[in-house]
């Protein structure tokens, strides 16, 4: 069990560019979640996968945001046409299936849009 | 809509003191509650998970209690150490690991003075 891995740790991009983040969950965890955290706030839920199925995506912040989990293993979060307001920490979490099991979070990807 | 509030927002105490962090939530229909620690610029580390049927959980110097009917949880830290300095986040699971993810408070920023 190597934990939840996120790549890259930091990303600086120019406004208008597209960015993609990767999350590798704990291997036996079938549930995967993406969150966004802005300064001074708690993480905000974005989307949820069970295996390869994206079961909740209405909380993605706009249609510029999309996520995939093609084979039920790793996941990617893409932001198109980035804006300065997208600057935040993007966190990935995985779980075996609450409520009996909690969530394990990765170290996050810090996005700065300049 | 579930809302989570954490009090105080910030706390600074001398090393060795026992302290209590508070978390309240507006809807008592939760599956579980989880306390996390977050160091600056880092991801979240799970501290304690309390199932809705449980009253408390302990890990080392940490003890978390849950009063679901009143919508409250406390995190008790005994004999605080400078290494405990971090932001502590409380989160509730209202959908059993499904489409709502976790709902977080804004956290308590804790500083332990050597």
- DSSP secondary structure of B33-61: EEEEEE-TT--EEEEEEEETT-SEEEETT
Q: Which residues of B touch A7 (CB under 8 A)?
A: none
Q: How far apart are CA A8 and CA A60, in angstroms?
A: 20
Q: Which residues of A touch B100 (CB under 8 A)?
A: 45, 56
Closest-CA residue of B relative to A46 is B101
Of B42, B51, B106, the CB nearest to A42: B106
- Please report the pLDDT score of residue A86 as a whole number: 97
Higher per-residue confidence, B94 vs B55? B55
Q: What is the pLDDT tens value at each position of chain A, 114 positions in all?
A: 579 999 999 999 999 999 999 999 999 899 999 999 999 999 999 999 998 888 888 888 889 999 999 888 999 999 999 999 999 999 999 998 766 678 899 999 999 999
Quick: pLDDT tens for B44-85.
Answer: 999 999 999 999 999 999 999 999 999 999 999 999 999 999
Asked if B106 has any chain A CB less than 8 Å from its own CB, the reply is yes
Of B43, B46, B52, the CB nearest to A107: B43
Q: How far apart are CA B65 and CA A39, in angstroms?
A: 28
Using 50, 70 and 90 to split pLDDT, how confident is the model at B96? confident
The DSSP 8-state label assigned to residue B96 in this structure reads: S
- Please report the pLDDT score of residue A113 as a whole number: 98
A45 touches B100 (CB < 8 A)? yes
Using 50, 70 and 90 to split pLDDT, how confident is the model at B95? confident
d(CA B19, nearest CA chain A) in Å: 21
| Range B20-35 average pLDDT | 95
- Please report the pLDDT score of residue A99 as a whole number: 62
Q: Which residues of B touch A106 (CB under 8 A)?
A: 43
Q: How far apart are CA B40 and CA B107, in angstroms?
A: 12
- Please report the pLDDT score of residue B94 as a whole number: 87
Residue with tokens 């199925």: A53
Q: How far apart are CA A107 and CA B11, in angstroms?
A: 24
| Range B16-39 average pLDDT | 95
- Please report the pLDDT score of residue A1 as a whole number: 52
């Amino acid at each position: 069990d190597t934990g939840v891995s996120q790549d890259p740790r930091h990303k600086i991009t120019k406004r208008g560019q597209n960015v993609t983040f990767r999350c590798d969950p704990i291997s036996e965890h079938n549930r995967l979640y993406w969150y966004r955290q802005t300064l001074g706030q708690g993480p905000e839920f974005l989307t949820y996968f069970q295996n390869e199925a994206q079961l909740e995506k209405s909380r993605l912040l706009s249609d510029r945001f999309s996520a995939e989990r093609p084979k039920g293993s790793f996941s990617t979060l893409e932001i198109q046409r980035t804006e300065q307001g997208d600057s935040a920490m993007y966190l990935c979490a995985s779980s075996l299936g609450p409520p009996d099991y909690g969530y394990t979070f990765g170290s996050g990807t810090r996005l700065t849009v300049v | 809509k579930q809302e989570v509030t954490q009090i105080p927002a910030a706390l600074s105490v001398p090393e060795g003191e026992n302290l209590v962090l508070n978390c309240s939530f507006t809807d008592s229909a939760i599956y579980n509650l989880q306390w996390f620690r977050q160091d600056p610029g880092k991801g979240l580390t799970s501290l304690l998970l309390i199932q809705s049927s449980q009253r408390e959980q302990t890990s080392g110097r940490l003890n978390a209690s849950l009063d679901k009917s009143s919508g409250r949880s406390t995190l008790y830290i005994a004999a605080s150490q400078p290494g405990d300095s971090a932001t502590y986040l409380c989160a509730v699971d209202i959908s059993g690991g499904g489409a709502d993810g976790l709902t977080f408070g804004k956290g308590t920023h804790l500083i332990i003075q050597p």
